[in-house]
Amino acid sequence: MRDRDLLDALLRPFRSYPARVTERADADARAAGLTIEVLAGGVRRYRDPRLNQLAAHRASQLPVINPSAAAVNADRSPVRIVVAAGRWSR
């Protein structure tokens, strides 16, 4: 049983290593102004809130779709991707 206790004492610092790395990454992210979202399985997502503003700005710059033009083209068939036979088929 002594060998097991010795092994446990030697490995104890390495068991807490992932938690220390995560804490440091979270602290660095908070210092940079990022938001931290914890997903399933302990996966962390670091996001910059300024990117949300950028997405809203880009969306406002897009052209507005004309609903009457969309109604005129409603009877056309949708776009299809045609692939050469045998290339991706089995």
Among 26-30, 60-64, 76-80, the least confident range: 76-80
DSSP β-bridge partners for residue 38: 44
Query: What average pLDDT does this structure show over 61-81?
Result: 60
CA of 58: how far to CAs of 8, 53, 67, 81, in Å? Answer: 55, 9, 21, 28
As a whole-number percent, the residues of the chain with pLDDT over 70 amount to 68
Residue-range domain boundaries for the chain: 2-63
Query: What average pLDDT does this structure show over 19-35?
Result: 91
- Dump strand ranges (E) for the chain: 35-38, 44-47
Longest dimension (CA), the chain: 83
pLDDT at 31: 93
Higher pLDDT among residues 76 and 52, named by residue: 52
